[in-house]
Amino acid sequence: MKRLTFFSLCLCMIIVASCKQKTENKKVEEPIAEELPVKVKGEEVTYASDSTNLKGYIAFNANNPEKCPGVLIVHEWWGHNDYVRERADMLAELGYTALAVDMYGGGKQAEHPDDAGKFAMSVMTNLPEAKARFNAAMELLQKHESVDAENIAAIGYCFGGSVVLTMANAGAELDAVAAFHSGVELPVMPSSELKAAVLVCNGADDPFISPESVIAFKKTMDSIGADYDYISYPGVKHSFTSKAADANGEKFDLPLEYNAEADEKSWASLQKLLEETF
């Protein structure tokens, strides 16, 4: 009986050892999935509202097989230029699909502040057409193969910041919006239609943004219980995220000035907003 018990024990140990060895071999043989590096791909796109042909630029991570949130980017009053495309590439590096929007039509750009002002006013004083152009861009982004259509944000610079805030205030289906060196006295002010989390990053020394407009904006946002963050950078002027600001300010005698610290801090705040939202 003792011999049989000892024999049985030895047999069990052999079986266990064999199974363990097979498991270890299997673990070794299983291929380890490698995470592919980010590969930003940029594409020219054309789209249209009912009345306007539009030209945009979409950037995404071509190595990501999963659908990701989409981000609309609206340009400064200069129009759809290289700067807004660079921001699209930066967002693609972070794992989002970004569409640099064209709000003027035909990819039109302004060479002088007078023209930029006229272009911007033509959009902001025609809200139905502004909505149509913005919605056309949103639909294009949502249909892109890399995008989760249920997760959409919008950001904008200067004129573009006013556009995305206005669209959000008007009830656009956006999860988050961020505005940089943007006016907050808008064609449509915040109301119960606002669904998005809001980030506004402005320079405290920006002469284009009156203290009274900031107070009114915050008061309205507070009154509706909005999810928002208004950041004001001391000593910072208008267009602080654009490296072309100094040259444009000197050329046209405007209070424009790039500020590297505010640029980096505001970009970090945007990343935080998007991470918390999505």
Q: What is the CATH number of the domain that holds 157?
A: 3.40.50.1820
Give the CA dihedral 108, 114, 118, 124, nearest 10 degrees: 100
User: For residue 34, is it within any domain?
Assistant: no
User: For residue 93, is it within any domain?
Assistant: yes
Confidence check: pLDDT of 4 > 70: no
User: For residue 170, is it within any domain?
Assistant: yes
Confidence check: pLDDT of 10 > 50: no
Q: What mean pLDDT is predicted for residues 223-238?
A: 98
Measured CA to CA, the distance from residue 194 to residue 215 in angstroms comes to 18
Phi-psi map region of 109: left, alpha, beta (phi>0 left; psi -120 to 50 alpha):
beta
Confidence check: pLDDT of 171 > 90: yes
User: For residue 4, is it within any domain?
Assistant: no
pLDDT score at 32: 56
Considering only 6-10, 34-38, 106-110, 194-198, which range has the smallest mean pLDDT?
A: 6-10
User: For residue 186, is it within any domain?
Assistant: yes
pLDDT band for position 60 (cuts 50, 70, 90): very high
User: For residue 175, is it within any domain?
Assistant: yes
273-276 long-range contacts, CB within 8 A, separation 24+: 273/153, 273/176, 273/178, 273/197, 273/199, 273/229, 274/69, 274/71, 274/94, 274/96, 274/153, 274/176, 276/197
User: For residue 5, is it within any domain?
Assistant: no
Q: Which residue carries 């997760």 as its tokens?
A: 151
Q: What mean pLDDT is predicted for residues 105-114?
A: 96
**In this structure, are residues 261 and 243 in contact, taking their beta carbons and an 8 Å threshold?**
no
Q: What mean pLDDT is predicted for residues 128-149?
A: 98
- Give the pair of three-digit tokens for residue 136: 């056309």
Which range of residues forms the domain containing residue 170?
Answer: 40-277
Kindly calculate the radius of gyration of the chain based on its CA atoms and give it in whole angstroms. 26
Residues 6 or more apart from 33 whose CB is under 8 A from it?
none
In degrees rounded to 5, what are phi and psi of residue 199? -125, 130
Confidence check: pLDDT of 80 > 50: yes
Domain count along the chain:
1
User: For residue 169, is it within any domain?
Assistant: yes
pLDDT score at 17: 52
pLDDT score at 11: 46
